[in-house]
Structure 1
């Protein structure tokens, strides 16, 4: 049961392992082969000399996502420490650094690690597939999410986060933005470190009287400041200023959070306008639409990532574009919850006009999957269908950009992640192409987005460390994790009192 996890994981210091940590190593081979010149690589920053790589990821078709969006056929990525050292011809890099261990990617597609810009790690994962898909508007939150979060212990948060991180890694996500509904942030950050994912962490931020985990605006801001100071920028896990958002924050909390983000340099994220309820609430209480009210308060800006922003008026679109505010687009959530994205969504317009846009998968009550490639396909398909125009800019290649370099730009990390270029973190994914969805091989962007999904993810490296090898997580014992989760799920459903019932009767077999 979950108590055993809580006992094993305490928010003291971040260890090398965790309750499910494994010691699986990367299987590499040494190769020495002559070749030609390679692309430039950075020095070590001290002596001026180029460091020797620790690993060559060799022979794959490398989707660089550089400014020219080049794909290097049969290319190699050289990794030194946690950074990309060079990207170029396999023969040239082998010649320059003979005997370097290799990860064989021949016949595969190598992409930058993908970015999930809005992912709830707690509350829903232990109730997976129990939340009905025919609930009345708001019921998925009021009748399910709030009771589940209120019943969550620190051990539940740890277990939920491990499940979420492992699933994201298995789907090729190397950077995860926590959505801001974490009651026990230190155990969650610990779980993220254990799994080996890069990401952000915040804590529950609302000042709604009587609500679970609520506090006054000054108290919420103190909590958030502690998170930002504990997890500074540049680490594997970074602290963000997180509010629940919607209509669940006072003006004092909204403006205080924005000031905290600006003064510390930590980004800020919150939910807004996935459905019509937020515009209705803001118009009633402030006389303005949600984004317009944030603009009036001075909350908008490059520091802010809004989750959803589906129901927007023209004035709100202009405010987002003019302020540089980013948006995390989670199409599966809106479809599962029937929130009206096909009627109101303007994300493809934001993209076409140079807005900052990323993809997210949201939560177990709103999508049930962290497969960012499926999300990319849905984003591209919806853009075409909603406009009744297959020529819109948000096609397969653009959707893959949202999952990588454009997503990195939206979350303020494009200088570190999102493309395979010298000096950036060595976050990459090796996609196996042996499945039927890859036969015959064609345009890589089309096959990744329209044909493939997370099942093709073979290997994942985060900061040069192999966290997935041969379709299995190397950092966490998945069998033990799933066994623990089964017991914790039953316990949480009972404690929370949510009405978990199967769609069809489950009867003994005779």
Structure 2
């Protein structure tokens, strides 16, 4: 493969095994990626590209594997990062919301939202995630956008909206839609940070808000996302209120479509799966969250079937007190491992499909496959260099299997996003990580005190002095 035109690259990423994720899923052993500005100019043989552009600065990726940047289609960048590992993992369903989540969000100040998003962004890029779809920020989305820009990560942001009377932070539908419209206008589609029409979802939106949000997304060419059916609570609620299951109610309202990314969609029946497939609605699958929260994915989840039948499926890591990690390679491995075990069939989804979900498949599901998700000329230079010198890579075998089953985000050595160096030698270079840890520790202590949430640990902690 080669680029065209007179442009000269600024950088050659040289000598790595390049996992292109192009239409043929080619892996170029000892290949090179030529980067010009924020785009990929060419992908090909090292000798050929060196000869074409002699004297170009080089980045040594020998003994490494180079992949496209990964896509996290559902990540909470606020609310949880400053309270990580603070919400107990043995609570009954829904107990965390009123006692922890609502007070934490209420106690967040603008600086907390930005600092929280910085933490989430740094963790993401260090795990090879180059695109994040924000799951919803209650109060200060512009500060989240500023943090994403500082880190250098690509993605979408949203300001949560809901209008059910009596719910915390609720507002009339018209007010919510105005706020969402302003955000979409401020961050138009196609930018490095896009505004998304974001509802909290579940049972917290009226029909007026749901249809208005879908219309806003379609009219502005933006995307829409909301939570739905991670557990059986949403189907029970929708059946009681509307007489229809959640996805079928959205279909009746005309909300479904390629503009919509539903987070979770675990508890679906046959008719709901058919409706999502028919309208090309995408799903963000966050398997670690369902296991930690005991939501029944092994009982009800149909994501493998949805993907196998051509559904638009992406992966997400959810919140810092749910999935607890931004490592999308671990998530990819879990997704296909669950698929094999739930079907009692090892011949289904495997490592190849896992990497597709993490890269080009995820990019398609979030509406960005024309820009990201594969290493091809003309696409953004979002690429990850994985150090393949560790024992988990020795001896070298099938690259897809070693990335998914043997490795994880700790192998990520370097990351470029839009041609910009964001991670070098396992460290985020756009943010002072040491200072970030200090600021985050102080902010966390103050936030937890303001929120007044109960704090407990699994075991007694005793000072060593």
Please report the TM-score for the alignment, with normalisation by the length of structure 1.
0.90
The 3-state SS of whatever aligns with 2:47 is helix
Aligned to 1:412: 367
Equivalent position of 1:165 in the other structure: 121
- In structure 2, runs of 5+ residues without a counterpart are none
Partner SS, residue 240 of structure 2: helix
User: Matches of residues 418-437 of structure 1 in structure 2 within 5 Å?
Assistant: 418-437=373-392
Q: Deviations over 1:21-40 (max 9, x none)?
A: xxxxxxxxxxxxxxxxxx22
Equivalent residue number for residue 316 of structure 1: 272
Deviations 1:373-419 (A, max 9, x none): 00000001000000000011x21110110000000000000000000
Report the counterpart of residue 92 of structure 1 in structure 2.
Answer: 48
Aligned counterparts of 2:115 and 2:164: Cα–Cα separation in 1: 27
- Structure 2 distance, partners of 1:184, 1:242, is 13
Distance (Å, rounded) in 2 between the aligned partners of 1:139 and 1:289? 24
1:459-501, Cα deviation, whole Å (9 max, x unpaired): 0000000100000001000000011000111111111111111
- Partner in structure 1 of residue 405 of structure 2: 450
* Of 406, 409, 416, the match for 1:461: 416
Q: Is the 8 A contact 1:140 1:365 kept in 2?
A: no
Q: Equivalent residue of 1:361, what SS?
A: coil
Alpha carbons 1:42, 1:423 under 8 Å: kept: no
List structure 1 runs of 4+ shifted beyond 4 angstroms. Answer: none
For 2:57 and 2:317, the matched residues in 1 are separated by: 35
CA contact (8 A) 1:308 1:327 kept: yes
Q: Deviations over 1:200-248 (max 9, x none)?
A: 1110211122433321100000001001100011211011100000001
Stretch of structure 1 that moved more, 491-500 or 139-148: 139-148
Q: 230-239 vs 59-68, which deviates more?
A: 230-239
Say whether 1:283 aligns with 2:245.
no
- Structure 2 counterparts to residues 65-214 of structure 1, below 5 A: 65-214=21-170
Q: Secondary structure at the match of 2:258?
A: coil
> How far has the Cα of 1:507 moved from its partner?
1.6
Which residue number corresponds to residue 372 of structure 1?
328
Which of residues 495, 499, 509 is equivalent to 2:450? 495
In structure 1, what is the Cα distance between the partners aligned to 2:361 and 2:301?
19
CA deviation vs aligned residue, 1:97-118 (integer Å, no higher than 9, x gap): 0110111000100000000000
Take 1:449 and 1:163, find their aligned partners in 2: how far apart are those partners?
25
What is the CA–CA distance in structure 2 between the aligned matches of 1:71 and 1:282, rounded to whole Å?
47
1:486 to 434, 441, 444: 441
How far apart are 1:142 and its partner, in Å?
2.3
Alignment of 1:8-47 (within 5 A): 39-43=1-5
Q: Residues of 2 paired with 1:497 and 1:429: CA distance?
A: 41
- SS of 2:345's equivalent in the other structure is coil
C-alpha displacement at 1:141, in angstroms? 2.1
Matched position secondary structure for 1:131: coil
Deviation at 1:64, TM superposition (A): 0.1
CA distance in 2, matches of 1:357, 1:379: 11
CA contact (8 A) 1:431 1:456 kept: yes
SS in 1 for 2:136: coil
Tell me the residue number matched to 1:8.
none
Distance across 2 between alignment mates of 1:481 and 1:58: 32
- Structure 1 distance, partners of 2:198, 2:258, is 15
CA distance in 2, matches of 1:98, 1:449: 36
Question: 2:226 & 2:369 partners in 1: Cα distance?
Answer: 21
The answer to whether the 8 Å contact 1:426/1:464 transfers is yes
Tell me the distance in 2 between the aligned counterparts of 1:508 and 1:97.
Answer: 60
2:460 corresponds to which residue?
505
Is residue 216 of structure 1 aligned with residue 172 of structure 2?
Answer: yes
Determine which of 475, 479, 488 is the counterpart of 2:430. Answer: 475
Query: Is residue 441 of structure 1 aligned with residue 396 of structure 2?
Result: yes
Q: How many residues align?
A: 465
The answer to whether the Cα contact below 8 Å between 1:121 and 1:161 also exists between their aligned partners in 2 is: yes
Aligned equivalents of 1:280 and 1:455: distance in 2? 41
**Residue matched to 1:28:** none
2:337 corresponds to 1:385: no
For residue 65 of structure 1, report the CA deviation from its aligned partner. 0.2
Kindly indicate whether the alpha-carbon contact (under 8 Å) linking 1:272 and 1:278 is maintained by their aligned counterparts in 2: yes
For residue 173 of structure 1, report the CA deviation from its aligned partner. 0.2
Greater mean alpha carbon deviation, residues 212-221 or residues 442-451: 212-221
